[in-house]
Chains A and B, each alone.
Chain A
Amino acid sequence: MDAPEYSITTRGLNLWYGQFQALVDVSLDIPARRITALIGPSGCGKTTLLRCFNRINERLGYVTTRGEIHVLGRNIYAPDVSLLELRKAVGMVFQRPNPLPLSVYENVVFGLRLHHRRGELPRARLDAAVEQALREVGLWNDLKDRLDTPATRLQLEQQQKLCIARLLPLKPQVILMDEPCSALDVNGTRAIEELLFALREHYTLVVVTHNMAQARRASDECIFMLLGRVIEHRRTEDLFLNPRRPETAEYIEGRYG
């Protein structure tokens, strides 16, 4: 294996919602072009941690963050960091598929339209971006004749794939996913998992999941969290086969969840 290259590193990350501390001293190194799963019982802070990486937590006025987060080698809290550039480089997929109330086509080019002036986006460039993004997530054949349908009319699985596809034209390096399969059925889940493997080649994926089997199947590394702390972070098979910490063992055996 080649030398580890980290896409995201955190040091001493603490986060408070008002008075309530949701993350305690989180220090992590998340490797590039791997799938890293975030697991842990409900309320342990998985979503909160994920939402730190693109600073979307800051929407809420009452959030305080301390500590360091480096994404792609840059401190994202440095004053000269552009939030827009950060979010271009770090895409996010949400728990419930949330395509915008626009056509399939417009959903895919939405990011491009945000970051480029109208003159820089000839139709041909948009068309090419749509085709490439939809091909990459395996929707092109299904949707190429229906690019004008409202995205909210698609099946949930297609919606979620579309939500991944709309990140791709911005050429992100990291994709954050918060329980991307929790709204989907078995087939949808399998389809998304296969997609994760395909995307791993080019992107760093951080995937929150509630589903232990999924973490085991579909990740290279696994981070187990409990009450806002990282308890254990190792290669997935090691973590599941011989967990070092008793809490991890208890969790993967299903004693709390």
Chain B
Amino acid sequence: MSETPLETLRRHRPRWDRVGERAVEGLIRLCGYSAILFVLGIFLFVFREGAPLLPKLDWGRVLLSPEWYPTSRMHVRYGVAAMIAGTLSVTALAMVLAVPFGLGAAIFVSEFCTGRVKETLKIVIELLAAIPSIVWGFIGLSVTNRLIQTYLPAPVGLNLFNAACLLALMSVPIIVSIGEDALKAVPDSYREAALALGATRWQTVYRVLLPAARHGLLAAVLLGVGRAIGETMAVLMATGHANQFPRSLFDPIRTLTATIAAELGETAVGSDHYRMLFVIGLMLFTITFIVNLLADLAVRGVRNKTG
């Protein structure tokens, strides 16, 4: 009894079949590991470009001062505080708009729609996700810019609020589709239990489904946040790109991402300014890494619960 039936089966299959299987297996494994390789590679590249400047920086200044004068002749200053404030404020405002809207839409699609309407909505939402960010930037420059100037008490249309609206529209599809998956994963038996006790559909949603799907919904929100933080083109075009602390909804701001996009082409490779932009890249890396880690932990919370 030294051979299991499976082993005998294997041995009798043609040789090239086994070789082919090995090859495919190897290829698939390579694809999987390459993801790790790429992430590490990119991080190392960004780190290598930024690293020589790291010991030279006065971190108190960098993180607390809004003074960003990377090309000043007299006195070069690399304060990114205003940009961090810009990135955080535009992301936060975008989420204030996108989270209720996105979760509402996810609930609507998953619990209140059936058949045709549901399919159509899902397709439209996916289309929304596929719009390139440069197109959103155009919309920000032309459409929302004018709308804000006309209807809101804002001196300029390119500002925090404009960019936040665009970012909200860009993260809503992510929140909706992942949120909908989270709700769909709640067993139907919970819905039936609640309905059979006389719950309305809305009671079923907020008393049973939202608590049951909370980890997945949190992950959806965090992935939306990640999308908003990383966005570059649309915010470069719509924020006004003014390096200052926002004092109202309608102040122009500048974000970390937009700064890199706008200035990297102008710097000499290897210069301090060039390296500083990579340091900003490292900061972004850290922020998105934390957000993704949180999202991952949230999703894992789901698995521990059900499994």
What residues make up the interface of A, taking CB atoms closer than 8 Å to B?
54, 56, 59, 61, 83-88, 91-92, 94, 96, 98-102, 110-111, 113-115, 163, 166-167, 170
Contacts of A85 in B (CB 8 A): 198
Check B198 against A87 for contact (C-beta < 8 Å): yes
Q: A98-B189, A100-B190, A101-B190 are in contact. Are A114 and B198 (CB under 8 A)?
A: yes
Check B197 against A91 for contact (C-beta < 8 Å): yes
Q: How far is the CB of A170 from chain B (nearest CB, A)?
A: 7
Considering the complex, give the chain B residue whose CB is closest to the CB of A85.
Answer: B198
Partner of A84 from the list B115, B187, B191, B200 (CB cut-off 8 Å) is B200
CA distance A61 to B305 in the complex (A): 31
* Chain A proximity mask over B178-213: 1 for CB below 8 Å, otherwise 0: 000000000101111111111110010001100110
**B114 contacts A by Cβ under 8 Å:** yes
Partner of A88 from the list B189, B195, B198, B211 (CB cut-off 8 Å) is B198
Considering the complex, give the chain B residue whose CB is closest to the CB of A113.
Answer: B207
Check A110 against B189 for contact (C-beta < 8 Å): no
Contacts of B192 in A (CB 8 A): 56, 59, 92, 94, 98
Partner of B193 from the list A84, A88, A94, A115 (CB cut-off 8 Å) is A94
Q: How far is the CB of A121 from chain B (nearest CB, A)?
A: 14
12 additional contacts (CB under 8 A) given A94-B189, A94-B193, A100-B190: A56-B196, A59-B195, A61-B114, A86-B198, A91-B197, A94-B192, A98-B187, A98-B190, A99-B193, A111-B197, A113-B207, A170-B197
CA distance A85 to B197 in the complex (A): 10
5 A-B pairs whose Cβ atoms sit less than 8 Å apart in the complex? A91-B197, A94-B192, A110-B194, A110-B207, A111-B198
CA distance A109 to B178 in the complex (A): 32
Q: A96-B189, A100-B208 are in contact. Are A61 and B115 (CB under 8 A)?
A: yes
Partner of A100 from the list B193, B198, B200, B203 (CB cut-off 8 Å) is B193
Q: A100-B208, A101-B211, A101-B212 are in contact. Are A163 and B198 (CB under 8 A)?
A: no
Contacts of B203 in A (CB 8 A): 114
Check B114 against A110 for contact (C-beta < 8 Å): no
Contacts of B193 in A (CB 8 A): 94, 98-100, 163
Query: What's the dominant secondary structure at chain B's contact region?
Result: helix
**What band does the interface of chain B fall in when counting residues whose beta carbon is under 8 Å from A?**
20 to 34
Contacts of B190 in A (CB 8 A): 98, 100-101
Instruction: Kindly name the residue among B191, B195, B198, B212 whose own CB sees the greatest number of chain A CB atoms within 10 A.
Output: B198
Check B196 against A114 for contact (C-beta < 8 Å): no
Contacts of B211 in A (CB 8 A): 101-102
CA distance A83 to B198 in the complex (A): 7
Considering the complex, give the chain B residue whose CB is closest to the CB of A92.
Answer: B196
Contacts of B194 in A (CB 8 A): 100, 110, 114
Contacts of A113 in B (CB 8 A): 207
Considering the complex, give the chain B residue whose CB is closest to the CB of A95.
Answer: B189
Contacts of A98 in B (CB 8 A): 187, 189-190, 192-193
Per CB-CB distance, the 10 closest pairs between chain A and chain B, nearest first, are: A87-B198, A98-B189, A92-B196, A84-B198, A111-B197, A98-B193, A88-B198, A114-B199, A101-B212, A61-B114
Contacts of B187 in A (CB 8 A): 98
CB-CB contacts below 8 Å: B48-85 with A: none
Check B212 against A110 for contact (C-beta < 8 Å): no
Check A114 against B114 for contact (C-beta < 8 Å): no
Instruction: Kindly name the residue among A61, A83, A110 whose own CB sees the greatest number of chain B CB atoms within 10 A.
Output: A110
Q: How far is the CB of A107 from chain B (nearest CB, A)?
A: 9
Contacts of A59 in B (CB 8 A): 191-192, 195
Contacts of A167 in B (CB 8 A): 197
CA distance A102 to B209 in the complex (A): 11
CA distance A111 to B196 in the complex (A): 10
Contacts of A92 in B (CB 8 A): 192, 196
Instruction: Kindly name the residue among B187, B193, B212, B305 whose own CB sees the greatest number of chain A CB atoms within 10 A.
Output: B193
CA distance A111 to B198 in the complex (A): 7
CB-CB contacts below 8 Å: B159-188 with A: 187
Considering the complex, give the chain A residue whose CB is closest to the CB of B194.
Answer: A100
CA distance A56 to B204 in the complex (A): 14
Contacts of A100 in B (CB 8 A): 190, 193-194, 208
Contacts of A114 in B (CB 8 A): 194, 197-199, 203, 207
Q: A96-B189, A100-B190, A101-B212 are in contact. Are A91 and B196 (CB under 8 A)?
A: yes
Check B195 against A56 for contact (C-beta < 8 Å): yes
CA distance A100 to B115 in the complex (A): 27
CA distance A96 to B187 in the complex (A): 12
Instruction: Kindly name the residue among A86, A88, A96, A102 whose own CB sees the greatest number of chain B CB atoms within 10 A.
Output: A102
CA distance A18 to B49 in the complex (A): 65
CB-CB contacts below 8 Å: B113-140 with A: 114-115
Q: How far is the CB of A150 from chain B (nearest CB, A)?
A: 9
Contacts of B114 in A (CB 8 A): 61
